[in-house]
Structure 1
Amino acid sequence: MAVSDVRTRPRLAHTRLGAGEPLVLLHGQGLSRRSWAPVVEELARERDVIAVDLPGHGDSPRQPKGAGNTPLDQARAVAELLDELGLATVHVAGNSVGGWVALELARLGRARTVTALSPGGLWGRRAPLFISTTMRQSRLNSRIVHRLAPDAPRSRWARTAFMAQLSGQPSKVPYALANAAIEDMATAPGFRETLHGAERTGFRHGADIHVPVTVAFGTRDRVLPPLITRRRSQLPPQTRWIKIKGAGHVAMFDEPGAVVALLLHASGPRAGEPIR
């Protein structure tokens, strides 16, 4: 099994693991490629997995001056990475804003399939105010915790308190995942500009996408309420909508087995068929 961990060049940091059809993984706002840790090794048994740090997150630098920070701008940065890796098209899976970036990659013609886990952007002209407020509060809380108690959250009670927004089962999130999520949220250098780039617009022109699209929301997603953040009309007619029972906003934290099964099916030869 081939492994590579690139941190300096190309511009976007990424980890590449496994062999097979290429599958790019894109994380959510304020997180990093480490959020995919619960599923990467299993996926790599059957896919060439490329977990990417989006601009201004994890080990990736901010966008160059003038490049912009909307999800479409971030998709263009991921497309540049694909060019550098010699990949014309790939299967793409993204969580939260990463799901939105995955949809934009499909609009750019770079996706073979798209799997969007709790994608952002399926609202009106701009993000609801409570989402913007919640994300900023999460950033502030993470920075305080990371500065005062960098080893937190050790106890199940602390994980319940700090992971309730991201997880449907926060007390069960492993310590290493919870600690990494807090560190990533606290230290992402491009958090402010990428959040601003996402909250002032929404996903548009889904009819331009002609590849299989799967959208999945956890039944315990506390970040994106159904009535105002899941507008199906903005996605192409071939989109399949799936529920992941027991999962929160970051489904791989709660139900990694279900996420692996979904991604393998959605990036496989029966990607457009119903999931039984």
Structure 2
Amino acid sequence: MPLSQLVLDRKGAGETVVLIHGIGHRRQAWYPIFDRLSERYDVIAVDLAGFGDSPPYAPGIPYDMENACRDLTANFAEWGIERPHVVGNSLGGAIALELASRGLVSSVTALSPAGFFRRFDFLRALAILGFLRLTSQAPDAVLRAVARSSWGRRLIGFTLFAHPERHDFDAVYGDAQALKHCRAFAGVARAGARYEFDRTVEVPTTIAWGTADRILPYVQSGIAASRLPGAVHVPLVGAGHVPMVDAPDRIIELIDQTVARAQEGELTTSA
């Protein structure tokens, strides 16, 4: 049984691709690429437990990686899928890699994944995210006013995106509301303070990192490359922490390439 009945958007047909957002975010983070991916895949964008519209875990259940993987795979079964391709950003990237290390998915595309911190990197990221969380607690009237103005959208989004001006009022205000009301933020942050990705991954894997990432700086990509030498490592030149907004065409291209490598491997195995 799932720990939480996760809310999702699903569209398209073909190989299943599951999209996993970061801490404090929501499934709508993937909307810049969702419809285009659905033209050739069965695409699922999911709200993690305690974020977006998904309910939190029961009291006493920690928001650690073991439970995140357990919950997602239980939901996979309820959705009628097995070993999908997964794409994750930040926290979602770390979860995607964890799922792969357990043999639960067919491929991984991880965008600025968490878990490759240098000394003090986690505290830096938590400080920025904590500040965003704090500002999201402003009255809704203030959040609406800020989200309506171009300068406000840039002010809110510059830590996450290289191009915050590409977000409209609905996206900015919706993200602020999601961050304001998410119930898993503190639990995930506590678990993250002790988290480091140090497992092996044996499925086709792409790790892409925005060179303008202000939350998990691009230098962490070197740590990822040293720990996962078998992955394809790609710089996203000029992109920020949430690159689906900054480089949607490139992200779709990388997903296509990673899925294709998995398909080629299956053909080789069955030959």
The answer, yes or no, to whether TM exceeds 0.5 is yes
Q: In structure 2, what is the equivalent of residue 149 of structure 1?
A: 143
Displacement, 1:102?
Answer: 0.4
Distance change in 2, residues 1:145/1:75 (3 Å): farther
How big is each residue's C-alpha offset from its partner over 1:118-175, in whole Å with a ceiling of 9 and x where there is no partner? 1111125885311122111110011216463335411221111110111011233333
Query: Which residue number in structure 1 is paired with residue 252 of structure 2?
Result: 260
Corresponding residue to 2:190 among 196, 200, 208: 196
* Distance apart, 1:229 and its partner CA: 6.7
- The amino acid of 2:137's aligned partner reads R
For the pair 1:231 / 2:223, whether they are aligned, the reply is yes
Structure 2 gap segments, 5+ residues each: 266-271
- Cα 1:149/1:131, change in 2 over 3 Å: closer
**What's the offset of the Cα at 1:27?**
0.3
Q: Distance in 2 between matches of 1:253 and 1:272?
A: 29
Alignment partner of 2:75 out of 61, 78, 81 = 81
Alpha-carbon contact 2:49-2:56 (below 8 Å) kept: yes
Range 42-51 or range 154-163, more displaced: 154-163
SS at 1:182 equivalent: helix
Which is further off, 185-194 or 68-77? 68-77
Number of residue pairs matched? 263
| Counterparts of 1:67 and 1:216, CA distance in 2 | 31
2:96 aligns to what?
102
The gaps in structure 1 that reach 5 residues or longer are 1-8
Q: 2:81 is matched by which residue type in structure 1?
A: L
Distance 1:85 1:123 in 2: 34
Separation in structure 2 between the aligned mates of residue 229 and residue 186 of structure 1, nearest angstrom: 30
Q: TM-score, normalised by structure 1?
A: 0.87
SS at match of 1:128: helix
In structure 1, C-alpha distance between the alignment counterparts of 2:251 and 2:202, rounded to whole Å: 23
Give the Cα–Cα distance (whole angstroms) in 2 for the partners of residues 150 and 190 of structure 1.
24
Which residue of structure 2 aligns with residue 245 of structure 1? 237
Residue identity in the other structure for 1:215: I
Q: Tell me which amino acid in the other structure corresponds to 2:83.
A: T
Distance 1:38 1:145, change over 3 A: farther
Is the contact between residue 217 and residue 243 of structure 1 (CA under 8 Å) also seen in structure 2?
yes
C-alpha separation in 2, matches of 1:38 and 1:52: 15
Equivalent AA in structure 1 for residue 135 of structure 2: N
Say whether 1:140 aligns with 2:134. yes
Shift of residue 183, structure 1, vs aligned partner: 1.5
SS at 1:29's partner residue?
A: coil
Are 1:91 and 2:85 counterparts? yes
Taking the aligned partners of 2:245 and 2:216, their CA distance within structure 1 comes to 17
Q: Secondary structure at the match of 1:49?
A: strand
Greater helix content: 2
